[in-house]
Amino acid sequence: MKVLVVGNGAREHAITWKLAQSPKIKELFTAPGNAGTARIAQNLDIAANDIKSLGKAAQQKNIDLVVVGPEVPLAEGIVDHLESIGIPAFGASKLAAEIESSKVFSKALMQKYNIPCAKSVSFADYAQAKEYVQKQKLPIVIKADGLAAGKGVVVALKMEEALAALTEFMQDKKLGAAANQVLVEEFLPGREMSYFAFSDGINVLPMVSACDYKRVNDGDKGPNTGGMGSYSPPVFDSPALQKLAMDTIMVPTIKAMAQEGRQYRSVLYGGLMMNKGKASVVEFNARFGDPETQVILPRLKTDLLDIIIATVKGKLSQIKIEVSEEACVGVVMASGGYPGNYKTGLPISGLLDIDSDVMVFHAGTKIGAAPWEVLTNGGRVLTVVAMGKTIAEAREKAYNNVSRIHFDGCHYRKDIALFKS
């Protein structure tokens, strides 16, 4: 098969890497890809959001299947477009992707179908939102309705922070139309996990879960990022917890989407808060997570292409997902200054010095003047991933390899998957 992966992050490099292991793959393309995907696939110079051009390229190259990584093209209807021109695509349709692209929609869905989630009220009017927030207990969570690349959520510990978020979102329009509506949500305490399940619209098949680290600095300090690291399985994971997540959240959500005429055929990512034997939804994403994908795909033993084809064709009942018992840890190496301003075009050294069983998934990288030269080209640059019999073993191996890679200003968290015993 000829397969095209859309996106340019470490998530898409991991997806491309996993697909490349399938004996059914004849040719692999990535659009736009990065220096990492260029080694295992052919990069096409088309932006992930340029839906029409991606469709044309897929037709010209006789692509059999398109796999979509990021949320923006999904929300803009890339899967609907590709299907309309006869190209099978793995990803949520525009209507299904609203479970991520509109928090107002996903909250209304959860409320209607009794899927456990934080209580929340939505506002389009700043004065009303302000009046409501001032009467609430702290901490309180302020969320923009639409896609905001991780910048649309403020967990406010103080009233000033909550009010400042409302001002930024609703008056200063810092996030544009994404904050035309704002949700004011109850704070959920507990332990958070990213839960993944595949669905063909009817069948729901669980994948392993993972935890990610969103803040830039050790100890969960500093501003939010796209994700600074991840590990799988969560230390607090258990078969009972997995069953709870499936029975109370993932299966009812897939059913609810079908009932709403928004059949969900893709991977569904539940950001779940676990507390006192109950799982509640923090958010849904209509796609694989980044950086979680970098640590769950190495654990997957089943051919990812088989799962994807079965998802697209409505045949997931024929698939059995097998995963490795080993743990997996991924550490993100970021550009100096990230998540604020940073330089790009800096040479990366040490990429050839890593252990053969360690994976370096590229995100913001590009090939330099010489074909072997790799330069930084974004905020999050690499995810260095290692497996091990225990989380501690995987963690040690990942960090050992991180220390061999260098670029000017590079920074990373030192506490990914670190647990005090």
**Residues near ligand AMP, by CB under 6 A:** 118, 141, 153, 155, 185, 187-188, 192, 214, 271, 282-283
Partner touching 187 among ligand GLY, ligand AMP, none, CB below 5 to 8 Å by kind: ligand AMP
The yes or no reply on residue 80 touching ligand GLY (CB under 6 A) is no
Site for ligand GLY in 289-308 (CB under 6 A): 289-290, 292
| Residue 141 C-beta: closest distance to ligand AMP, Å | 4
Among positions 145, 212, 260, 303, the unique one binding ligand GLY when judged by CB under 6 A: 212
Smallest separation (angstroms) from ligand GLY to the CB of 100: 9
Residue 206 touches which of ligand AMP, ligand GLY, none (Cβ within 5-8 Å per kind)? none
| Shorter beta-carbon distance to ligand GLY: residue 209 or 376 | 209
* Residue of 218, 72, 223 whose CA lies nearest to 153: 223
Choose between 201 and 289: whose C-beta lies nearer to ligand GLY: 289
Among 61-69, 151-159, 287-295, 301-309, which window interacts with ligand GLY (CB under 6 A)? 287-295
Binding status of residue 100 toward ligand GLY by CB under 6 A: no
Only one of the segments 172-180, 284-292, 294-302, 408-416 lies at the binding site for ligand GLY (rule: CB under 6 A); that segment is 284-292
CB closer to ligand AMP, 214 vs 404 = 214
Could you tell which of ligand AMP, ligand GLY, none binds residue 104, using a CB distance below 5 to 8 A set by kind? Answer: none
Least separation, in Å, of the C-beta of 402 and ligand AMP? Answer: 24
Q: Considering only residues 215-244, where is the footprint of ligand GLY by CB under 6 A?
A: 227
The beta-carbon contacts of 319-324 under 8 Å, at least 24 apart in sequence, are 319/198, 319/205, 321/198, 321/205, 321/206, 321/207, 323/207, 323/208, 323/299, 324/298, 324/299, 324/300, 324/387
At 268, give phi and psi (nearest 5°). -110, 130
Smallest gap from Cβ 138 to ligand GLY, in A, equals 25
Q: Residue for token digits 């840890």?
A: 329
Report what 283 binds from ligand AMP, ligand GLY, none; CB cut-off 5-8 Å by kind. Answer: ligand AMP
Is 379 one of the binding residues for ligand GLY (CB under 6 A)? no
Closer by beta carbon to ligand AMP, 126 or else 187: 187
- Six token digits for residue 368: 């330099």
Please write down the HEC assignment for all residues of the chain.
Answer: CEEEEEECCHHHHHHHHHHHCCCCCCEEEEEECCCCHHHCCEECCCCCCCHHHHHHHHHHCCCCEEEECCHHHHHCCHHHHHHHCCCCEECCCHHHHHHHHCHHHHHHHHHHCCCCECCEEEECCHHHHHHHHHCCCCCEEEEECCCCCCCCEEEECCHHHHHHHHHHHHHCCCCHHHHCCEEEEECCCCEEEEEEEEEECCCEEECCCEEECCEEEHHHEEEECCCCEEEECCCCCCHHHHHHHHHHHHHHHHHHHHHCCCCCEEEEEEEEEEECCEEEEEEEECCCCCCHHHHHHHHECCCHHHHHHHHHHCCHHHCCCCECCCEEEEEEEECCCCCCCCCCCCECECCCCCCCCCEEEECCEEECCCCCCEEECCCEEEEEEEEECCHHHHHHHHHHHHCCCECCCCECCCCCCCCCC
Contact between 70 and ligand GLY per CB under 6 A: no
Give 72 or 155: the residue with its C-beta nearer to ligand AMP. 155
Using rule CB under 6 A, residue 285 touches ligand GLY: yes
User: What tokens does 126 get?
Assistant: 């700043």
Q: How far is the CB of 405 from ligand AMP (least distance, A)?
A: 27
- Please identify, among the stretches 117-125, 283-291, 299-307, 370-378, the one whose residues bind ligand GLY according to the rule CB under 6 A: 283-291
Contact of residue 118 among ligand GLY, ligand AMP, none (CB under 5-8 Å per partner type): ligand AMP
292 binds, among ligand GLY, ligand AMP, none (CB under 5 to 8 A by kind): ligand GLY
| Residue 292: CB minimum distance to ligand AMP, A | 12
Nearest of 33, 44, 20 to residue 70 by alpha carbon = 33
Residue 201 or 226 having the CB closest to ligand AMP: 226
Candidates 2-10, 129-137, 180-188, 285-293: pick the segment binding ligand GLY (CB under 6 A): 285-293
The residue ranges that bind ligand GLY (CB under 6 A) are: 212, 227, 285, 289-290, 292
